[in-house]
Structure 1
Amino acid sequence: MRKFFAMKLSVYTREFKENIKLAYPIILGMLGHTLVSIVDNIMVGRLGPTELAAVSLANSFVFIGMSLGIGFSTAITPLIAEADGENSLVKGRSVFHHGLVLCSVLGLVLFGVIYAAKPLIVLMGQPKEVVEMARPFLDLVAFSLIPLVVFQGYKQFADGKSETKYAMWANLLCNVVHLFLNIVLIYGVWFFPKMGMLGAAFGTVISRIVMVIYMHIALKSKDKFKPYFDGFSIKGIGKVMSLKIINLGLPSAMQMFFEVALFTGAIWLCGRIGTASQAANQIALTLATFTFMFVSGLSVAGMVRVGNQKGIGDFIKLRIVARSIFLLAIIVQGTFALLFVLLHTILPHFFVNENVLQTGEVISIASSLILIAAVFQLSDGIQVVVLGALRGIQDVKVPMYITFVAYWIIGFPISIYLGFYTNLKAIGVWIGLLSGLTAAALFLYLRFNKLSKKLIIHNTY
């Protein structure tokens, strides 16, 4: 029995090497996105809890836009992967051109919407001093969505071609530039003005513009990608391919939106509870987001490999690849869960100034939230890698409904009740997050299991 189990398990573990080879540059690239926020939080957190809460509030708006932009752009990857599996340059070039134009338009739209919606920040019931600090920060960081979403168009194309290192190097460059600008602009080093938290916002905008420029030059200069840049014309952008990308991208964007909006809702709820709760929420959320990037990278790797197998038509292999990704995600997130439990009282200290008022309360609340984050590591990991596999087979509409129900019918009401009507407060808000993520993981896996079986049966007969 033990030998049988080991043999069955080896079917999936044999895929680990290929999964990791494809995923690790994606993970490093995604960590690059996250490190921009982490660096901001650590440096701004040294200024005080109010500044950290203001960054958290402003970023809550920007994260919504970012989720829509990144979610939409993921439609490019499975289509490119499928075209690559079919060895079709014409189809791949069409997807790339249309995807890049749509991402550029979307970036502009998202910036405009967030800028126009800025007055809503007053209605969120946040402390007055936090709102006043958040407004100018929001303007600048919202503008950075334009280069970020354009970058995603390039990144998803390269990922779909299984060339994941280009985005990794672009993000590394972005972080070097961002760290330098943060140091000199927040604290006023050398001849640079001391701008406080606004310095972090300028650093974000400039570093993301640099990232896009690097990505364009890096891809266009390589022989492998040159044919995909040929014949680009706005007049060549047609309705059929645009609608195909939109039909895949819009539900994918909404899936990511529902999850990010849930965590954004947690930011607002904790802000209504108090500044200390909001600052503590931001610390725990930053750490959870950091670990989430590892399984997000695995999710993209799964989407690419599943998309390739769909193009080839090997659905048995497709199911094996997907399950190997799921197993790897469980191992990775289980490791992080253990680290969170062991270090939950230590980690918050990296984000606060011990000499600032309310620091002790922030650390205490954050320590408890990190323990809950440890529990939902597995749920969060499973739901995102299963979503990647479903996108690989281009199933996006039903998962969109599943994520809405899980996060907004199950998770958020629990957060509201436990956060406002019990003594749990911020801890109760995070129990709601855990509930939503667990429901999503369960129902999404059932969906993939059903569809992958159906593909095998249909292909057999």
Structure 2
Amino acid sequence: MTYGGHVRAIAVLGLPLIGGHLAQFAIGLTDTVMLGWYGVEALAAVTLASSYFFVLFLLGAGFAMAVMPMVATAAAEEDETSIRRCTRMGLWLSMLFFVAAMPLLWWSQPILLLLGQDPDVAATAATYLRVAGWGLLPALLVMVLKSYLAALERTQIVFWITIAAAVTNGVTNYALIFGNWGAPELGVTGAAIASFVTQIVSLAAVVLYAVRVLPEHALFRRFWRPDWEMFARVFRLGLPIGLTMLSEVTMFASSALMMGWLGAIPLAAHGIALQLASATFMVHLGLSNAATIRAGNAYGRKDRAHLARGALVVTIMSLAISAVAVTLFLVFPEQLISLFMESDDPHRGQILLIGTGLLAMAALFQTVDGAQVIALGVLRGVQDTTGPMVIAALSYWLVGIPASYMLGFRMGWGGVGVWSGLVLGLACAAVLLMARFWGRTIYRVEALA
């Protein structure tokens, strides 16, 4: 396939995935915007709670992400039995993970206090997590089934289901946070209920589609029967993916904790800037998922040339997206931040001042953030996950987090220093992961297969 052919194929596969990720992002964005209207204290608490929730969610989502390259490879090999087996065991592992994680969500308040958070913010965050935490189970199951469908190149249905979820979340938030349409005004608790309802609607939709449109895979027939050999394979591939994502999200969650040490207003500014940076990251993530699927297909066919061309094309596409994001963040910071606040908010001036500096740092890490997630995508496609896990841990925990603390507090740079540490951690990961793929993995496709 020519380079132009790769661009077209990645666009056809990736655009619905990007749209789906942006719709998923819109769910969190809706929470941030509406809670920002409700009050800075509520926004700060849910920013903290969301960071805590996603630490656990992304660790558990490793099993869902393992399903994607496994199904893509099995599809290239026309092995429908393996498609069913790995998807089913991904669902099993997700349910078991939820059982282990829910106590940490239910009893989050003492953990947040131990991490040095403001008692009032920690109490409100814990209230949110006691309700929203139950949504972890459907969220993980949805992730597995979306990975299964995406790997079969049924990305448009993934997009439409996520759009429906975003609409459900927005309507339910509007009703329950503010008490509109005769609903009670529940504030933070209303946002948590909306999150749970959204995940249930998503799960119902994706299960219905899988059962009705793809009955040949019989995903839920004799679902209770164990398949220990495939269970172990999904676990071995998925745990390093989960730990890799945990490494990155822990770095960002640590940055939220550090911003919390600076106060509720810096934490609110951090939440807004992070939402804006996350919007562009969703585009890179969609391209990364497309790279995983296409690399998985090439891996199944042992086609090294196809793998190399596809990886180069998707990397260039990611760099182009980064250039657009950098321009927006540097040229229109105040306009972007203002979207999240009422014009008469008494803290508006302080949040704009802090947020503008944070967006300048977000512009710096756009390129490296995109590069590292693209590298992870192609490496997962060829089922290389353990080495990237080690690279991620070293980059995020030994470089990013210590640098954030040193620059933010020891050097006295405040929020800009905390975000400078994020840039350094992401840059380290991007360089090492790209070096692993282009310097080692791509030349071993035949051996790995």
TM-score range, shorter chain: over 0.9
Alignment partner of 2:294: what SS?
helix
Q: How does 1:42-441 map to 2 (within 5 A)?
A: 42-222=33-213, 225-229=214-218, 232-441=221-430
Structure 2 CA distance, aligned partners of 1:81 and 1:457? 17
Q: Which residue does 1:3 correspond to in 2?
A: none
- 2:11 paired residue among 6, 20, 42: 20
5+ residue gaps, structure 2: none
Structure 2 CA distance, aligned partners of 1:217 and 1:329? 34
Alignment partner of 1:353: what SS?
coil
Q: Percent identity at matched positions?
A: 30
The amino acid that maps onto 2:367 is: L
Alignment partner of 1:74: what SS?
helix
- Native 8 Å contact 1:307 1:392 kept in 2: yes
- Native 8 Å contact 2:369 2:430 kept in 1: yes
Deviation at 1:11, TM superposition (A): 4.9
- Native 8 Å contact 2:53 2:129 kept in 1: yes
**Larger CA deviation: 137-146 vs 116-125:** 116-125
Structure 2 CA distance, aligned partners of 1:230 and 1:73? 15
Structure 1 CA distance, aligned partners of 2:19 and 2:173? 21
The amino acid that maps onto 1:104 is: M
Assess, with a 3 A threshold, how the Cα gap between structure 1 residues 234 and 215 changes in structure 2: closer, same or farther. closer
Alignment partner of 1:232: what SS?
coil
Structure 1 CA distance, aligned partners of 2:42 and 2:49? 11
Deviation at 1:373, TM superposition (A): 0.4
- Native 8 Å contact 1:118 1:135 kept in 2: yes
Structure 2 CA distance, aligned partners of 1:456 and 1:162? 22
The amino acid that maps onto 2:268 is: A
Deviation at 1:67, TM superposition (A): 1.2
The alignment covers a number of residue pairs equal to: 448
Give CA-to-partner distance per residue, 1:84-114, whole Å, 9 cap, x none. Answer: 0101111111112212222222233322332
Structure 2 CA distance, aligned partners of 1:201 and 1:456? 45
Runs of 4+ displaced beyond 4 Å = 456-459
**Larger CA deviation: 423-432 vs 102-111:** 102-111
The amino acid that maps onto 2:90 is: G
The amino acid that maps onto 1:400 is: M
Structure 2 CA distance, aligned partners of 1:321 and 1:248? 22
Deviation at 1:124, TM superposition (A): 2.3
Deviation at 1:404, TM superposition (A): 0.6
Structure 2 CA distance, aligned partners of 1:451 and 1:193? 58
What TM-score, normalized by structure 1, do the two folds share? Answer: 0.94
Structure 2 CA distance, aligned partners of 1:320 and 1:186? 49
Alignment partner of 1:346: what SS?
helix
The amino acid that maps onto 2:226 is: I
Structure 2 CA distance, aligned partners of 1:457 and 1:65? 35
Structure 2 CA distance, aligned partners of 1:289 and 1:230? 33
RMSD: 1.6
- Native 8 Å contact 1:107 1:150 kept in 2: no
Assess, with a 3 A threshold, how the Cα gap between structure 1 residues 441 and 120 changes in structure 2: closer, same or farther. same
- Native 8 Å contact 1:269 1:416 kept in 2: yes
